[in-house]
C-alpha cells in the first residue's frame, strides 16, 4: 500500500517531511561549521591565525579592499564589534587602512605585503591538509550542494530583510 503524502502547511506548499529535511540540513550545517572551526584551530592554532583572523585575511584576499562596516555586515556583526579584530590585524602589520574616495570617513582595509604573505602561508598549510580529507564526492554533487546551500541562505536573507 502506497504511503499518502502528509498535508502541506497552509499556504507554504511543503509538507512536514520537507520541513524536517530542511531542519536536518540546518542541523548538519551547524555540525559542519563546528568541525571546520575545530580543524582550523588544529591547522592554524589559536594564535595569530585563529579562525576569525584567517577569515578576515582570506576574505580580503578574495574580495579586495573593504570597509570595516562592509566586512562586519557580511558576517552579521556590528561594525563596533568587528573593529577590534581589524585593529589587531592592523597592529600586527597584516592589514592597513587606505583612503576611500567613495566615503571619506570610512577607510578601505587592505592586506599589506606581510598580510599577502600570511595568506599564502595559510593556503600552503591548508593544501597540506587537503590530501588527508578522504571524501568520495564527485564535483557535480558538490556543485549541487553549494547551490542548494546558496538558495537556502538567500531565502533566509530575504526572510530577515522582510521581517
Question: How far, CA to CA in Å, does 74 sit from each of 18, 70, 156?
Answer: 29, 6, 14
Range 44-132 has CATH code 1.20.1260.10: no
Give the pLDDT score at 84: 96
- Mean residue pLDDT of the chain comes to 89
Give the pLDDT score at 52: 85
Region 66-87: what's the mean pLDDT? 93
**For residue range 114-139, what is the model confidence (pLDDT) as tens digits?**
999 999 999 999 999 998 999 999 99
Give the pLDDT score at 123: 94
Instruction: Look up the pTM and report it.
Output: 0.77
Region 81-106: what's the mean pLDDT? 94
Candidates 47, 50, 79; CA nearest to 66 is 79
Domain ranges of the chain: 44-132, 133-163
Is 31 or 45 the better-scoring residue by pLDDT?
31
Candidates 117, 116, 125; CA nearest to 40 is 125
CA–chain centroid gap for 109, Å, is: 18
In the predicted structure, residue 20 carries a pLDDT above the cut 80: yes
Is 2 or 150 the better-scoring residue by pLDDT?
150
In the predicted structure, residue 160 carries a pLDDT above the cut 90: no
Give the pLDDT score at 47: 67
Amino acid at each position: 500500500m502506497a504511503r499518502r503524502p502528509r498535508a502541506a502547511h497552509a499556504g507554504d506548499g511543503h509538507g512536514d517531511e520537507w520541513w524536517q529535511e530542511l531542519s536536518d540540513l540546518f542541523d548538519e550545517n551547524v555540525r559542519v561549521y563546528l568541525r571546520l572551526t575545530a580543524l582550523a584551530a588544529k591547522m592554524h592554532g589559536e594564535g595569530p591565525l585563529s579562525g576569525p583572523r584567517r577569515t578576515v585575511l582570506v576574505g580580503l584576499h578574495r574580495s579586495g579592499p573593504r570597509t570595516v562596516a562592509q566586512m562586519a555586515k557580511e558576517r552579521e556583526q556590528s561594525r563596533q564589534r568587528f573593529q577590534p579584530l581589524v585593529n589587531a590585524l592592523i597592529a600586527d602589520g597584516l592589514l592597513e587602512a587606505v583612503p576611500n574616495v567613495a566615503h571619506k570617513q570610512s577607510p578601505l582595509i587592505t592586506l599589506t605585503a606581510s598580510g599577502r604573505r600570511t595568506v599564502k602561508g595559510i593556503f600552503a598549510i591548508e593544501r597540506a591538509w587537503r590530501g588527508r580529507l578522504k571524501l568520495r564526492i564527485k564535483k557535480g554533487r558538490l556543485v549541487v550542494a553549494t547551490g542548494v546551500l546558496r538558495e537556502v541562505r538567500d531565502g533566509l536573507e530575504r526572510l530577515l530583510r522582510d521581517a
